Amino acid sequence: MNSNDDRIVQVEHHFGVRFPQDYRDFLGMTGSLSQFVPPADDFLVITALDELIDINEAGEFQKRFPGALVIGGDGSRELLAYDFRQDTPPLVTLDVSAEDWSSAIHQAASLSALLDQFPHTGWKWDDPDPSPS
């Protein structure tokens, strides 16, 4: 186990979750992402591991979105988050000003799926959260 693996485990422990394996692999190999993605021409941010705790503790996200873990976003108002209310947490977007989960928009079942589809689809704006209410 290298120091990055140790840090991943520390952050997981902080939030009381285990990250999906593809996200753990991304953190270990790529680390972060912040770029316009052609041809979709949408901006995609995947936050660095060392910034996850601060980002998730800002703005009372844990109170407004219990079970959410923000890992990035569109560089503006939309936050990309795992929905850990589900056993296999999907990725959703949450507007920074939203009060609760009702405005969540499902993006992908996994980070791998998001990264595969994003160049073609960009952000989805009309796919409500498929989780049970």
Cβ atoms within 10 A of the Cβ of 56, count? 21
* Mean pLDDT calculated for residue range 91-117: 95
pLDDT in tens, 40-65: 899 999 999 999 999 998 877 888 99
The pLDDT-based confidence of 1 (bands split at 50, 70, 90) is low
**Beta carbons of 104 and 94 less than 8 angstroms apart:** yes
DSSP H or E run through 27? helix 21-29
Residues β-bridged to residue 128: 105
Residue 3 has a pLDDT of: 79
DSSP H or E run through 52? helix 52-57
pTM of the entire predicted model: 0.91
Residue 54 has a pLDDT of: 93
Residue 132 has a pLDDT of: 42
Residue 26 has a pLDDT of: 96
pLDDT in tens, 74-100: 999 999 999 999 999 999 999 988 989
Residue 2 has a pLDDT of: 72
The pLDDT-based confidence of 133 (bands split at 50, 70, 90) is very low
**Is the model more confident about 83 or about 133?**
83
In this predicted structure, the answer to whether residue 66 has a pLDDT above a threshold of 70 is yes
Q: What is the mean pLDDT of the chain?
A: 91
Q: How many Å apart are CA 42 and CA 109, to the nearest integer?
A: 19
